[in-house]
Amino acid sequence: MATMKNILEGKGYSFFFVQPDAQVHHALKMLTEKRIGVVLVMDGERLLGIFSERDFVRLAVKSGSFSPEIPVGDVMTSQVFYVKLTTTVDECMALMTEKHIRHVPVMDGKMVVGVVSIGDVVKELVAERESVIRGLEGYIAVRDFPT
């Protein structure tokens, strides 16, 4: 069973972040330019929260009109669910499904080492299932079955 470490080894151990005093428009610009769904909100190496497309939509709906200078720290999601490098793909999928989230930081101890998305997890699950299917097809193809 693949783990978050396997996913990050394939996609890379990179992630994007802003400080809590960064303005919302800066975070939105980063989301757009990098074509990503979340930025982490960090104070040095300490994870404080996540700012996502959903956070922006909530802000826009709640306030009607908002100032793009609002600090990200004021509107971020501060209850962050995370996984470890050793978390399996199935465990991560279960967490994401249960909590209705699309991105999770990957932690190595207290340090963030990457972010995985629901797309990353689904891609890995499909690859694992296809590998099992190919193995079973190969097994069946070489067996002599009585006729």
Each residue's pLDDT tens digit, 7-64: 999 999 989 999 999 999 999 999 999 999 999 999 999 999 999 988 888 887 877 7
Statement: residue 91 has pLDDT above 90: yes
Question: Which residues sit opposite 46 in a β-bridge?
Answer: 43
What's the confidence (pLDDT) of residue 145? Answer: 61
Cα-to-chain-centroid distance, residue 35: 13
Q: Angle at the Cα of 58 (from 53 to 63), degrees rounded to 5?
A: 130
Instruction: Locate all alpha helices (DSSP H) within the chain, ordered by sequence.
Output: 4-11, 24-34, 53-63, 72-75, 89-99, 118-141
Statement: residue 69 has pLDDT above 70: yes
What's the confidence (pLDDT) of residue 19? Answer: 97
For the residues 99-119, what does the mean pLDDT come to? 96
Statement: residue 81 has pLDDT above 90: yes
Is residue 121 within 8 A of residue 4, CB to CB? The reply is no
pLDDT in tens, 115-141: 999 999 999 988 777 766 677 677 677
Statement: residue 4 has pLDDT above 90: yes
Selected residue with higher pLDDT from 27 and 65: 27
Domain locations in the chain? Answer: 4-141
Exposed, middle or buried: residue 92 (CB in 10 Å: 0-12, 13-18, 19+)? buried
Looking at 3.50.50.60, 3.40.50.10800, 3.40.640.10, 3.10.580.10, the CATH number of the domain 4-141 comes to 3.10.580.10
What's the confidence (pLDDT) of residue 146? Answer: 66
